[in-house]
Structure 1
């Protein structure tokens, strides 16, 4: 399983919003895009999807922009990934009634993979990512001293 470009960009944008969460000032698309090297038009589409998913909210006006809809420690990576990609295995006719033993085994393993991935993603929040980023930045600063 790979992290799609869409999800990676969304996580970067959400991390940027999380780092400005405390001051409650919205960030404009161009600010987020510039800080995280995300194309403006693409980011606009991602933020619209995240807004529909209840992860961000928009504020209109001259000082408008985007804010996290909830605290960063209450937004799990599973919510983010499901909002953008969906990780739930989609039941199909073949999965409900596998035609062969091999097909049944593959289906069982694939379901286990999804369960484990969901479990890992549920265990991390946006705040956890921000803390890991901050720790890494500290290590980089210490390295250059």
Structure 2
């Protein structure tokens, strides 16, 4: 299992939006792209996907941009990953044979474990971990 570039960029963009959630100001695509080093065009597509899923909203106008639709502590990573990667319940019937049944059972167990971890964490958790890591880096250089 690997974190796709698409998912990583989406999470980075949402972290950036989370940082500005409390002030209620929308962020423009170029602001997010610059801060998180994400290509503008790609970010535009990701934000459209997140908007369709109801995780962000867009605001038009000179002071327009994107905002989270809910508090960062109410948006789980499972929700985000489901939106970006299209998680679906994939209860597959194994092919004939014990070997195939065992492989399907283990894969299902691994998927459930991954989903449980993603459901435990929110955008707010990512922001707090980011802040703690930045604080540690500052302390290291002093």
Which TM-score band (shorter chain)? over 0.9
Task: Show structure 1 runs of 5+ residues with no match.
Answer: none
Offset of residue 65 of structure 1: 0.2
Q: Report Cα offsets for 1:61-90 as digits up to 9, x if no partner.
A: 110000001000000000000000033353
> TM-score under structure 1 normalisation?
0.95
> TM-score under structure 2 normalisation?
0.97
For residue 103 of structure 2, give the secondary structure of its aligned residue in structure 1. Answer: helix
Q: What residue number does 1:30 align with? A: 30
CA distance in 2, matches of 1:60, 1:86: 28
Offset of residue 17 of structure 1: 0.3
Offset of residue 97 of structure 1: 5.0
Aligned residues: 142
Offset of residue 50 of structure 1: 0.4
What is the RMSD computed on CA atoms of the aligned residues?
A: 1.0
134, 137, 141: which one aligns with 1:137: 134
